[in-house]
Amino acid sequence: MNRILFEREEIENGVAKIGDARAAHIIDVLGGEAGQELKIGVVDGKIGTGRILSVEGGQVEVAVDAGIESPAPWFDLVLAPPRPRVFKRILPQLAALGLRRLTLTGAKKVEKDFWGATILRRENYRPLLIEGLQQAGTSILPEIQVERSFRRLLSQLDPAEGPRIVAHPYGNFADVPAPEPGRIVTFAVGPEGGWTEAEVEALEAKGFLRFSLGSRILRTDTALVALIAKFMQP
């Protein structure tokens, strides 16, 4: 953890008291003791510093001072999801990299039983997103939405804020402009079997540009990190 995040309801009169994995990290990894300063933040709120008031019996009390705007998310992702265990693995990484909104959609090669997976429950995926935010030192919680109909998703896409990029290893590739600072980049990444050619053409009709990471066949989690890193701003 590079920043300890607190839920709003955990803070009372400017003080948060915790006794979970965050407290264990403060005690065991950071060597937390009274008077020590920590990097802290409020989930979906501001970031700042905290001062440890007490450490006792595995419980930590922290005075919270969060008055700085968190770095803003910079990309959206349209994802035809992989298997649940892979999806679970990528969520913290996406949050750490700067995800604003994740839209899960159907595609020909998506495994149909994914849509009943327990990882789609908010109480299961939210802690994974917070884990990624704590790693990155940010606090703005990504939004997750589901639109199982690929065709309906395309009809509902908002006007593009920045470049739209579809990951696909084949076909004619256009030059993708470097994203302007402050503009949201939208990526579209297919399931583990990839997009079909028809799906890619439908995305292109909505302004997505084909982008290839090369001839190597990558797993979804590897491809996502490699693709997003290509367009990250310094």
Contacts of 98 (CB under 8 A, 6+ apart): 71, 73, 74, 75, 136, 138, 228, 232
CATH class name, domain 4-68: mainly beta
Per-residue pLDDT reduced to its tens digit, 6-19 = 999 999 999 999 99
Instruction: Please state, as a whole number, how many other Cβ atoms lie within 10 Å of the Cβ of residue 25.
Output: 15
Residue 225 pLDDT greater than 90, yes or no? yes
Ramachandran quadrant class, 218 (left: phi over 0; alpha: psi -120 to 50; beta: rest): beta
Terminal-residue alpha carbon distance, the chain: 21
Domain spans of the chain, in order of start = 4-68, 75-230
The CA–CA distances, whole Å, from 228 to 96, 102, 148, 179, 180 equal: 11, 13, 23, 12, 15
Joined together, the tokens standing for residue 60 give: 């930590």
Per-residue pLDDT reduced to its tens digit, 21-51 = 999 999 999 999 999 999 999 999 999 999 9
Quick check: helix, strand or coil at residue 29? helix
Under CATH, which architecture does the 75-230 domain have?
Answer: 3-Layer(aba) Sandwich (3.40)
Reported confidence tier of residue 107, pLDDT bands at 50, 70, 90: very high
Per-residue pLDDT reduced to its tens digit, 166-201 = 998 776 666 777 777 788 999 999 988 889 999 999
Reported confidence tier of residue 126, pLDDT bands at 50, 70, 90: very high
Per-residue pLDDT reduced to its tens digit, 129-144 = 999 999 999 999 999 9
The rounded distance, in Å, linking the Cα atoms of 85 and 103 is 18
pTM score? 0.92
Reported confidence tier of residue 161, pLDDT bands at 50, 70, 90: confident
Per-residue pLDDT reduced to its tens digit, 62-103 = 999 999 999 999 999 999 999 999 999 999 999 999 999 999
Q: Which is higher by pLDDT, 127 or 159? A: 127
3-state helix, strand, coil in the chain (%, to 5): 30, 30, 40
